[in-house]
Structure 1
């Protein structure tokens, strides 16, 4: 029998050891290292919060015959260094406070916005990418995220561009570097992630823009044309002299899916190059949290929940979990309502207490706008509401109460 089994909560029994959930641990009352089901109350809590869980057969005291027959379901966890064989993964530590990093991150991102637009515009005209320039513009962003990712993650949510492809390339670059940092990748690998993030959708320059902006369901022929942006992108990248295989993998395979349901080749599991698996996650996350012609933006926390529910179906479980650790349970830009009734915007994560980030308070308990938005660290906010600690009660859909992120800049 496999060590880890995926089990519906209706099939759980006392004596089973729960090693994984269908949602992030940090939003639940359970121990993150797993727990043994020892009472009816344990079973009730799990069934109320989850649809399925993962059972560790080694630590379980009892496994029902039905579950034993499902031994082929699930898989053992793969160590990160086994996913990225031959790469030195070393944990990062914050070198700067997020406030101190803010001006450097802003300068790096302002330059990236200008340069990526120019690089794309020139590529559309010349049919080639300025490879030297795109590597150069990535360096300040890599430096900033390496020191402390919070500032860039916040500023990345504020940056908007009239063209979705440009905005998408900027955002995926930020998410990709942040994920690489979380994994402990060395600088040369972070550079590959940055360049791959910027160029994943460059092939859309050669796709009919009317199809990209279409609000209707595309015909099968039109969908094939849109999907051909992958081949267009690989061609443009190679034509420009970029031979980095990790970058080519990100451009060529970021629409492949863990279960083989993706395109262009229907690769599955370990047959998908590791950097392409990372690219698939950041590409999907940014798409879900962005306004597109055919779909409204999801709240960042809801997008993470969807990614988490697709673990080992569309995306590799270990990498989804690393991404959530990289950007937080409530990512920067998440609109939240507090237990006090106030409404705020998450601006920075807490590495130690992920449910208590730093936020900008914008509405009071009666949902009236504060004259001056207040910057609050929820770890230090106890006693602000009738003597009770203040915490996040729920995340809200983008645009709730007419709140738009771009209206709230930080004056640090």
Structure 2
């Protein structure tokens, strides 16, 4: 027995027309949204004077190299008044990215640290590489010895000598402050050995060098190490 073909009614109020109308509307909305996305994707940076900056704007580019300012990150959302003050001090105009801005940020909200500010301690090389290498080697050797002793004390259930740990970290940080290249060179040469202690020393040296780069005070560099 053959069933008769199903006829699709063309009445405006039919289920078929309602479904077809709904699908067309979805395509129209999707197409419009995609068009807006494409337009926003190509939105250029906007140049404005620093006096017009607002919290929530995304600063993408400055009128000078980032290295000439205290900002660590190149590109960030303005979150607080301190960042605005520093920006106005070093720049006369900036380029903001409208796509990345967050204008829901309100003044007085100091949360978020997307643009960390460097410290104010300026370090100059106080020793040449040749002069600092022996001192850096000695500091690394003393720190390695201290780590071995601490590991042994932990294994036998003894107490950790915190003064010894601080003294060891201090030796590395002082060497890095005088000339960071010496300690960096030594840990890179030792890295291939793969020994656990050498990895720990490598991390300590790199963190100290990073603290020096951020112009942090000596006590902060020592804590990082």
Q: 1:90 aligns with which of 114, 121, 128?
A: 121
Q: Check the 8 A contact 1:19/1:33 in 2, yes or no.
A: no
Q: Check the 8 A contact 1:90/1:184 in 2, yes or no.
A: yes
Q: List per-residue Cα deviations over 1:16-47 (Å, max 9, x = no partner).
A: 469659xxxxxxxxx7449xxxxxxxxxxxxx
Q: Which has the higher contact order (CA 8 A, sep 6+)?
A: 2
- Contiguous gaps of at least 5 residues in structure 2: 1-37, 48-57, 68-73, 79-92, 106-111
- Contiguous gaps of at least 5 residues in structure 1: 1-7, 22-30, 35-52, 82-87, 195-412
Structure number with the higher strand fraction is 1
TM-score (norm 2): 0.51
Task: Show the counterpart of 1:133.
Answer: 164
Number of matched pairs = 147
Q: Distance in 2 between matches of 1:33 and 1:181?
A: 18
Residue 152 of structure 1, CA deviation: 0.2
Residue 94 of structure 1, CA deviation: 0.8
Residue 172 of structure 1, CA deviation: 1.4
Residue 127 of structure 1, CA deviation: 4.7
Q: 2:142 aligns with which of 111, 114, 123?
A: 111
* More displaced stretch, 92-101 vs 124-133: 124-133
Residue 128 of structure 1, CA deviation: 2.8
Residue 189 of structure 1, CA deviation: 2.2
Give the 3 Å change call, closer, same or farther, for CA 12–187 of structure 1 in structure 2: same
Q: Distance in 2 between matches of 1:55 and 1:124?
A: 46
Give the root-mean-square deviation of aligned CA atoms. 3.8
Residue 181 of structure 1, CA deviation: 1.6
Q: 2:115 aligns with which of 69, 78, 83?
A: 78
Q: List per-residue Cα deviations over 1:286-315 (Å, max 9, x = no partner).
A: xxxxxxxxxxxxxxxxxxxxxxxxxxxxxx
SS in 1 for 2:122: coil
Give the 3 Å change call, closer, same or farther, for CA 96–127 of structure 1 in structure 2: same
Task: Show the counterpart of 1:151.
Answer: 182
SS in 2 for 1:59: strand
Q: Check the 8 A contact 2:142/2:168 in 1, yes or no.
A: yes
Q: Distance in 2 between matches of 1:69 and 1:13?
A: 7
Residue 77 of structure 1, CA deviation: 5.4
Q: 2:219 aligns with which of 173, 188, 191?
A: 188
TM-score (norm 1): 0.30
Larger Rg: 2
